[in-house]
Structure 1
Amino acid sequence: MLNYHAINNPELTQWSFTETKFNPLAQGKCESVMSLGNGYMGLRSATEEAYIGGTRNLFVNGTFNRFDDLEVTELPNAADVTQVELLIDGQRFSLETGSVTDYERTLNLRDAELTRSFVWRSDQGKRIRFEFKRFVSMHDLHLIGMKVQLTPLDEGITLRLASGINAQMSNSGSQHFHEGEKRIFDKKYLQLIQTTTESKVDFVMNALHSFWIDGVSAEIKPQMEIERRKMEMAYSLDLQAGQTLKMQKLIQVHTSRDADVEGAGELEKLRAHSLQALKKAEEAGYDQLFEQHRQAWASIWEKYHFEIESEDSFDLLALRFAIYHLMVMTPVHDRRMGIGAKGLSGEGYKGHSFWDTEIFILPFFIYSEPKVARTLLEYRYLGLEGARRKARENGFKGAMYPWEVAWPSDGEVTPVWGAVDIVTGKQTKIWSGFIEQHITSDIAYAVWHYYQSSGDQQFMDECGYEMIFDTATFWASRLEWDEEGSRYVINEVIGPDEYKEHVDNNAFTNYMAHFNLQLALEYYNELKTRNPELLSRLESSLNLDQASREWQEKADALYLPKPDERGIIAQDDTYLQKQIIDLAPYKSQTKVGTLFQDYSLDQVNEMQISKQADILMLFYLLENRFAPELKRANYDYYEPKTLHDSSLSFSTHSILASDFDDKKLAYQLFRRATEIDLGPHEHSSDAGIHSASLGGIWQCVVMGFAGVRMLNGELHLHPKMPDTWKRLSFPLYWKGSKLKISITEDQVEIKTDQDAEIELVIYGKKTAFTGQLQFEMIHI
């Protein structure tokens, strides 16, 4: 059970949430939502003591490995450093024995610290107070710090504490590492060296333990143990009633892909560097290291400072939760790495990046920290090699981006087989990697979105134009000629609604492909006059003269589905002819995917049921191409048929509800988005947090309630705050200028510290200002 009120620390109100009762049958929830990280690595928050059903994960971004030829590449689960085995009077400590009072496990978002405390009474009646603390440093990306403290309250105990580095780990059974080398230096420093089996990435992990009794440093002679894929130090001692033992454990994690370590590719240099880094951390000590980490997070929260005055304090907590996880999952340190669909919090989706990044997460960085947005797009630029290979393998030209991507040059890494078919009992084939192709234009859209909002011409010259041109070339080669209709069509695809496979002319796919083609033509013609030298350079490698003629021909004749007499645009050629069933039982489900307990995917494919926003996503991304009444008619038609079985869905529907001036519905959908991870469902996050949904939560607030949009290269603002909110303020970057936008019930204020004049469109009216601007809210 999670409590969202600061129980013992009022200053952490709206900054923390607490598990108040440990449930061994639902460990995944807190392991994921309370996970720690810094973009370089992510640490799942399993308890120190081990339980059946717990999942211990430590992932280092970008270290993908393929277990064998029949599996796909994934982030390998590195050795565990967090388990601590405690034997008290010869009995293994466990919360499943004895009794527990005052139990609290809290994630402090402000300081990015995990704490756990309780009083445990053994079967023999002895009471012991336990306190655990843990952080993954944002100051030193390679550092993990842990603290264990225990005090016998009534009578003395005999304690044995064992802790070390345990490489007997796997990814759901797949072992990604060779045995490796293990060594203990000076009876104190543990070092494990392992190499991934296929990608040959070296991992070097070092750890040490330090002890204090009643605040006095204690030298406790360890029993050193090394066995297969594991080494640990065991410490035994007697504690009297009232005595407090404190153990601090520091860990350094390095790999041969570290961009910040000189000579990281040379194992001997890397292992020496890592051990020296651990000794340097030891000199600083846990408290100083944590303070450096806390200050790093203080700078982050100052940069992304939001204020929400709401009748429900959960709203601001939920937004901070989203920003926290966006920080711990995003590899701002290395452009060779992307964001996994579960971040770094679990094995779900194997650490792969999807369109989630470009459509749901990237806008947060575009408007909050553009340099990070650029890094994420450079990751896609580095992926052109894999995208071009996928196009060739499928008989197309240009760049066909993978549906799932790992290391940027890997190409397509989507698994082929998925869940069970309820009718046949066989595994269902995952067709997304073959025919869910809209991601190619989604990435082109993201490049355009970033450029229009940031004005980063250097990125376009070095990366952006090439990405847009080669994705357009893919679409030109992908289109098929329909002789009967005298038009180009896109057959045999999956749109954003993955409950509809092998469809023809998915409206989202067609319109976004058309956007991609037109965008390439626009920039091609622009470069002819503005930068012919750059165009000539790109022409030599991309054959742009011939390609541009094909873009024009195909764009002019591409079929774009139009509304019927009711104003409804068909999601695909056959959607509107499919069977309609009562979805009420599934709309109220407490677990995603209950539909498939009654129907197979093939059966669902023949029903008017959508997994998530599909054509409605089109109305959000290309909103000025569609009239408001058309968007509303389609919203009213498709929303009842949408199960929101994807975490990507609620935020889009919330933003559109804001556009329709339905503030009550917009807020309800926002809350449902926030509850995907933070809600009461015990198993919603077992495989990891939902990274796209977290970006969507930010979009609900900024794009929905504040009404921020980029349209035709202009910044628009059309605030429609929920009735339960009194104030909203947030930072926003626009073309190099940082704005602070504050919205109350009656007034909007915009400030900038830049001298340049800021132009924007407020409630549809163009205006410009320098320094500060105030205007009255328009109430609906």
Structure 2
Amino acid sequence: MKNYIKIDEWNIIEEGFDPTLNKISESIFSIGNGRFGQRANFEESYSGNTLQGNYIAGIYYPDKTRVGWWKNGYPEYFAKVLNSANWIAILVEIEGEQLDLNTCKISNFKRILHMKEGYLERSFVAEFKNGKQIKVNTARFCSIADSEIGAIRYSITPLNFSGIITITSLIDGDVKNKDSNYDEKFWDEVYQEIQNEEAFLTLRTKKTAFDVCTGISTSIFNEEKPLSVKSEAISKEKWVGNRIQQEVAEKVEYTLYKYAAIVSSENYKKPELVDACKKTLKRATEKGFEKLLEEQEQAWKKKWEESDILIEGDAAAQQGIRFNIFQLNQTYTGEDARLNIGPKGFTGEKYGGSTYWDTEAYCVPFYLATAEQKVSKNLLIYRYRHLQKAIENAEKLGFEKGAALYPMVTINGEECHNEWEITFEEIHRNGAIAYAIFNYIRYTGDQDYLIDYGLEVLIGIARFWSQRVNWSEERKQFVILGVTGPNEYENNVNNNWYTNLMATWCLSYTMEGLAYVAEQSPTKYQTLIQKTNFDQEAETARWKEIIDNMYFPGDDRLGIFLQQDGYLDKEQTLVKDLNRKHYPIHQNWSWDRILRSCFIKQADVLQGLYFFEDDYDIETLRRNFDFYEARTIHESSLSPCVHSILAAKLGDEERAYDFYLRTSRLDLDDYNNDTQDGLHITSMAGTWMSVVEGFAGMRVRNNQLYFNPILPEKWSSYSFTIGFRGSKLNIRIQESLIKISNHSGKDLVVVIHNQEYSIAGKTNVEVSSLKDYQK
């Protein structure tokens, strides 16, 4: 763990510059707006250890995979969201010396991510080798009010000299992904233009032929008065900008404003792209930095009204949850159903920026409760539009008759992950897609989604499970062989309990869906039956046979479900007995050693118990939790949140809090020694779940909201706002009082500690004696 981020409830603060921490800070201080985003790279030159990163949602390249062998069905590429043109670059030079924080003497360095207002600020004093000193203050943001605009305010004050400063404002499109498999650059130049203080650069991706036009406008002010300067146009291949030489006076501040417009062929016709960029840039420059920042602050105010969690009495916990919510809101806005959520968002290149099952299992609950219904619906529509690709993915592996296997990793619906044990074995992701449909309908009550979209997806998934199982003559039951469960420290196992559970649940839920749609919308039902060539009698009979005869591994002596066949054959070493020097084991152990150990990367059996807790009594939950948590090393970012929720359910406040703190500060404190690669965006949704579903105990049952809250010892109170079926509720939990306020005009019935309470519109209900329930 690294504890250099200052504790502050609304800000992320770094004081002092340590080059060894720079890549971690580049991740932590990342900014974005759902359409594009960037790591917290410096505007000026930096020759030290850095990962330059600017990313645009939906713009990708099929990077040819690097494997030394091939199997039928193996993906030919790994799709990657591309490192795109760097628009923030502002190069500063004094008498031939470049401003470079790696070579200059730096003091008074401070970096602040203003989460409440949505912008990044930085300040420092730099001393050049020639002894000249300058003070720099910067602020920048990616506008969520106008998602095609970025803006920078860059101020320079000469502290001990007067003279000439040379400033170059540019767009650098000569970039590549650090994770490029063959060091290939993925962009070709299409167009460039420089006129006065503006510059434009259009790049096109190889193979996929996406066009992105970036435009910048640069101006300099002295004490808020514009300076008339002559700029020199400079350009080379994939690189355009303006160079300015400005005479400066000692102790006088000079401010450069740089605006950027970023537009793509995803939203404009290619021949119209440059004009669209110019119009967007004009819109930005006419508004100016302060007006754009004001719009940014207002947009973020609305975001926080919808999604903030207030924790009183624990500043570290408060900072952690707000950091997670901030990153989620600037990664995905739900405005475009073609987009999804990569595990690193706009903060790094690991995992290619592609879509995993993380979205359905972890992110959907957050957006269901904190955003308009269309936001979470668009996440599901994304998968519906990829159904045919999922069918094609299954066909490549030998499945037929409309069976659908959704990809482990994708951007366009096609499987593109190139690790055997993930691509071919981690098939439980199909269950997560189905569960998200169930979860969305359960929360919103939008049964029309099942009729119009969901059932077709469920049929494809159910057909896959029906073909993936096989009958074991020895057991006289159905089994599922050769899989990897959520615990990726186990590969090619038989009868992973969680996978078998998801398979039977998917079959059962699909049968329920068929009956509902047949009754509620017979015409659409018949259309779907014909479209999918569905043999209802034969296929549902097969499904019912599987449901009734599925094998689930377990151990009667311990009273637990077994993660998979043979799990107890492993040496049962507990995590508490593992020498800390081995952490993290994925960086210190061979893969062979990991696979032979009993250690678990993330919730596996417990993931199933989290999804379907109502199907098990409390003692079953407790036995399985105690057994598996002791063996879980939590080296997946997705692990602590599930454990926190289950611990809270079991009344284990201490462990629930410890897991919450770990998930909420996973990146801020670099728990897993990997923050430099980018933030764990999808697990951040799990942090929100840890509070709302964990400590507050929120559930949806029988079309009603249920709460069963506990209060962590270190907190004096916590509160949050959720939307539910047209109502907007604020829930505040104190030691002796639970207060739920209905801010909408719609009446609602909620259940608190198994007692129903009616809350009329614009009123509230108060329940006392929380301590009594905690006992």
TM-score by length of 2: 0.93
Offset, 1:680:
5.2
Matched residue, 1:125 = 131
Aligned runs of 1:305-344 on 2, under 5 Å? 305-310=308-313, 312-344=314-346
Distance 1:52 1:438 in 2: 42
Contact 1:165–1:192 (8 Å) recurs in 2: yes
Matched residue, 1:709 = 699
Matched residue, 1:353 = 355
Matched residue, 1:396 = 399
Distance 1:619 1:377 in 2: 23
Of stretches 241-250 and 709-718 in structure 1, the one that deviates more from structure 2 is 709-718
Instruction: Rate the CA distance shift 1:127–1:178 in 2: closer, same or farther, 3 A.
Output: closer
Aligned runs of 1:233-632 on 2, under 5 Å? 233-258=242-267, 264=268, 266-310=269-313, 312-369=314-371, 370-397=373-400, 398-407=403-412, 409=413, 411-416=414-419, 430-542=420-532, 543-545=534-536, 546-581=538-573, 583-584=575-576, 588=580, 593-598=584-589, 600-632=590-622
Cα deviation digits, residues 454-504 of structure 1 (max 9, x gap): 001232222112222221121111111111111111100000000100000
Of stretches 494-503 and 522-531 in structure 1, the one that deviates more from structure 2 is 522-531
Out of 210, 221, 224, the position equivalent to 2:230 is: 221
Cα deviation digits, residues 424-459 of structure 1 (max 9, x gap): xxxxxx410111000101110111011011001232
Secondary structure at the residue paired with 2:108? Answer: strand
Contact 1:441–1:513 (8 Å) recurs in 2: yes
Matched residue, 1:154 = 160
Secondary structure at the residue paired with 2:213? Answer: strand
AA aligned to 1:276 is K
Unaligned 5+ runs, structure 1: 7-12, 259-263, 417-429
The percent of aligned pairs where both chains have the same amino acid is: 29
Aligned runs of 1:73-88 on 2, under 5 Å? 73-88=79-94
Cα deviation digits, residues 69-125 of structure 1 (max 9, x gap): 754111111111122221112211222334332210110001111111112233333
Distance 2:597 2:471 in 1: 28
Offset, 1:284:
1.6
Matched residue, 1:179 = 188
Matched residue, 2:56 = 60
AA aligned to 2:188 is E
Cα deviation digits, residues 608-651 of structure 1 (max 9, x gap): 11111110111111101122111111222111211101000011
Distance 1:14 1:549 in 2: 56
AA aligned to 1:463 is Y
Distance 1:589 1:514 in 2: 41
Of stretches 753-762 and 153-162 in structure 1, the one that deviates more from structure 2 is 753-762
Of stretches 193-202 and 212-221 in structure 1, the one that deviates more from structure 2 is 212-221
Offset, 1:745:
0.7
Contact 1:204–1:255 (8 Å) recurs in 2: yes
AA aligned to 1:389 is E
Out of 11, 16, 25, the position equivalent to 2:11 is: 16
Matched residue, 2:32 = 37
Contact 1:32–1:44 (8 Å) recurs in 2: yes
Distance 1:655 1:588 in 2: 26
Of stretches 160-169 and 582-591 in structure 1, the one that deviates more from structure 2 is 582-591
AA aligned to 2:560 is I
Distance 1:519 1:436 in 2: 21
Distance 2:706 2:529 in 1: 36
Cα deviation digits, residues 219-256 of structure 1 (max 9, x gap): 22122221122122211122121222111111100111
Distance 1:759 1:743 in 2: 18
Offset, 1:529:
2.3
Contact 2:109–2:123 (8 Å) recurs in 1: yes
Aligned runs of 1:627-776 on 2, under 5 Å? 627-679=617-669, 683-711=673-701, 713-754=703-744, 756-771=746-761, 772-776=764-768
Instruction: Rate the CA distance shift 1:136–1:405 in 2: closer, same or farther, 3 A.
Output: same
Offset, 1:289:
1.4
Distance 2:330 2:695 in 1: 26
Distance 1:387 1:697 in 2: 30
Offset, 1:319:
1.1
Distance 1:587 1:520 in 2: 47
AA aligned to 1:217 is P
Distance 2:666 2:582 in 1: 10
Of stretches 681-690 and 347-356 in structure 1, the one that deviates more from structure 2 is 681-690
Contact 2:32–2:331 (8 Å) recurs in 1: yes
Offset, 1:682:
9.5
Of stretches 109-118 and 681-690 in structure 1, the one that deviates more from structure 2 is 681-690
Secondary structure at the residue paired with 1:180? Answer: strand
Instruction: Rate the CA distance shift 1:33–1:246 in 2: closer, same or farther, 3 A.
Output: same
Unaligned 5+ runs, structure 2: 66-75
Distance 1:48 1:308 in 2: 35
AA aligned to 1:257 is E
Secondary structure at the residue paired with 2:596? Answer: coil
Offset, 1:755:
5.0
How many residue pairs match? The answer is 750
Out of 23, 44, 47, the position equivalent to 2:42 is: 47
AA aligned to 2:112 is T
Secondary structure at the residue paired with 2:561? Answer: coil
Matched residue, 2:71 = none
AA aligned to 1:15 is W
Secondary structure at the residue paired with 1:26? Answer: helix
AA aligned to 1:228 is E
Distance 2:366 2:333 in 1: 15
Aligned Cα RMSD in Å? 2.0
Offset, 1:570:
0.8
Instruction: Rate the CA distance shift 1:484–1:714 in 2: closer, same or farther, 3 A.
Output: farther
Offset, 1:373:
0.9
AA aligned to 1:386 is K
Matched residue, 1:9 = none
Matched residue, 1:26 = 21
Instruction: Rate the CA distance shift 1:327–1:297 in 2: closer, same or farther, 3 A.
Output: same
Offset, 1:597:
2.2
Matched residue, 1:427 = none
Matched residue, 1:423 = none
Secondary structure at the residue paired with 1:517? Answer: helix
Matched residue, 1:169 = 175
Secondary structure at the residue paired with 1:484? Answer: coil
Of stretches 524-533 and 759-768 in structure 1, the one that deviates more from structure 2 is 759-768
Distance 1:242 1:755 in 2: 57
Instruction: Rate the CA distance shift 1:596–1:242 in 2: closer, same or farther, 3 A.
Output: closer
Contact 1:31–1:46 (8 Å) recurs in 2: yes
Cα deviation digits, residues 295-328 of structure 1 (max 9, x gap): 1111111222332212x21212211111111111
Offset, 1:668:
1.0
AA aligned to 1:597 is N
Offset, 1:379:
0.8
AA aligned to 2:52 is R
